[in-house]
């Protein structure tokens, strides 16, 4: 896709942003078998948790350099860290561990089924830090836990709208209640496209620029059509008509035609919607009687696909027009 138009307009999309936190107990329940975990500190509260998806080793913090130790992060004690602790005199090792565990440490993992000295567990228990041991190697432990934490603790928000997969492009339909978002998506489903979510779209941010939309667990691909009621899309149209989640690539804003507003007619002026700090291309479609919103939605998706191949129809037409005018005046 080409560089951003200097006349681009960016508007934040209103939604309910939520902070996600995972407790040590929830992590145990979900990944105990995968990570081969056992609890070494009995009697401690496992409800402490983290909002930070990063997980690292203590490194220099064990050597006394604790200036940049972040609070609320999970820590991994690999073979290097445990060997270093055991190389110290007991009093010195206890002192280093006390300095480290005095921070907000929700949990400490020990990998490779390494033996853990009793003084290590005593210091951790004194500061109410659960210690869990994994049978996996440090490398394998990181490989299994990091994607899980990044997925569970990804920034998330809920948006009032409908999400559909149209020609492989995730179109998020937004607009005032009753504007016709659900009806438009239902028509798209009837034409062979796929419903992801209706009414409430749960959006999570993965990585820096990727937004994934999915439906609420309770709703499960049901739609509310005014005048008809609640319909079960997979029962009516089959499993081909739905998908569980989809990347959000274009926001389609539906609104009643406003004769006092000037709508884009060339497509040279770009609009963007901001969701969770990520800017998504936005197309505003004014509604008036007789307009086929379903076909327009398909064209929006196909135009976005063309941009991936480097084809920008409005810019190409603008170049041809300018070239024609230049030749005409020569």
Give tens-digit pLDDT for 207-250. Answer: 778 999 999 888 889 998 888 989 999 999 999 999 999 999 99
Catalytic residue among 31, 199, 216, 307: 199
Q: Taking the domains of the chain in order of start, what are their residue ranges?
A: 9-15+155-320, 21-152
Q: What is the pLDDT of residues 159-206, one digit of tens each?
A: 999 999 999 999 999 999 888 899 999 999 999 999 999 999 999 888
pTM of the entire structure? 0.71
Catalytic residue among 21, 112, 160, 205: 160
Catalytic residue among 73, 181, 221, 243: 181
Beta bridge partners of 37: 134
> Which pLDDT score, from 0 to 100, does residue 9 have?
55
Question: What is the CATH T-level fold of the domain 21-152, as seen in this structure?
Answer: 3.40.1390
The Cα 233–Cα 236 span in angstroms is: 5
Q: How far is CA 17 from CA 72, 119, 156, 268, in A?
A: 20, 42, 6, 32
Question: What is the CATH T-level fold of the domain 9-15+155-320, as seen in this structure?
Answer: Rossmann fold (3.40.50)
Active site residue 222: no
Active site residue 5: no
Active site residue 181: yes
The Cα 23–Cα 99 span in angstroms is: 23
CA angle 273/154/161 to nearest 5° reads 40
Number of Cβ within 10 Å of residue 227's Cβ equals 5
Catalytic residue among 19, 68, 261, 265: 265
H-helix or E-strand spanning residue 24: helix 24-35
Active site residue 220: no
CA neighbours closer than 13 Å in the CB half-sphere of residue 278: 21
Which of 187 and 262 is assigned the larger pLDDT? 187
């Amino acid at each position: 896709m080409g560089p951003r138009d200097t006349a681009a307009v960016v508007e934040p999309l209103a939604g309910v942003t939520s902070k996600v936190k995972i407790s040590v107990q929830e992590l145990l329940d979900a990944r105990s078998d995968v990570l081969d975990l056992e609890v070494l500190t009995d009697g401690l509260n496992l409800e402490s948790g983290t909002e930070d998806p990063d997980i690292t080793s203590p490194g220099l913090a064990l050597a006394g350099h604790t200036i940049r130790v972040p609070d609320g992060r999970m820590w991994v004690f690999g073979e290097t860290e445990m060997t270093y602790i055991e190389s110290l005199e007991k009093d010195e090792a206890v002192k280093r561990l006390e300095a480290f565990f005095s921070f907000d440490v929700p949990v400490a993992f020990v990998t490779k089924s390494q033996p853990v000295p009793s003084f290590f567990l005593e210091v951790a228990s004194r500061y109410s830090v659960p210690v869990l041991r994994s049978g996996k190697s440090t490398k394998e432990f990181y490989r299994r836990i990091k994607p899980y934490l990044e997925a569970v603790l990804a920034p998330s928000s809920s948006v009032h709208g409908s999400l559909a997969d149209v020609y492989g492009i995730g179109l998020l339909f937004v607009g005032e209640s009753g504007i016709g978002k659900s009806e438009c998506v239902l028509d798209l489903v009837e034409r062979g496209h796929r419903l992801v979510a209706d009414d409430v779209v749960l959006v999570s941010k993965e990585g820096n620029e990727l937004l994934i939309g999915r439906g609420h667990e309770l709703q499960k691909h049901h739609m509310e059509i005014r005048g008809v009621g609640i319909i079960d899309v997979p029962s009516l149209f089959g499993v081909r008509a739905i998908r569980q989640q989809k990347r959000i690539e274009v926001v389609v804003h539906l609104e009643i035609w406003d004769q006092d507003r000037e709508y884009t007619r060339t497509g040279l002026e770009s609009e963007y919607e901001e969701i969770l700090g990520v800017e998504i291309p936005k197309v505003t479609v004014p509604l008036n009687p007789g307009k086929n919103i379903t076909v327009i939605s398909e064209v929006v998706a196909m135009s976005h696909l063309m941009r991936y191949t480097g084809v920008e129809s409005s810019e190409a037409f603008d170049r041809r027009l300018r070239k024609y005018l230049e030749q005409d005046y020569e």
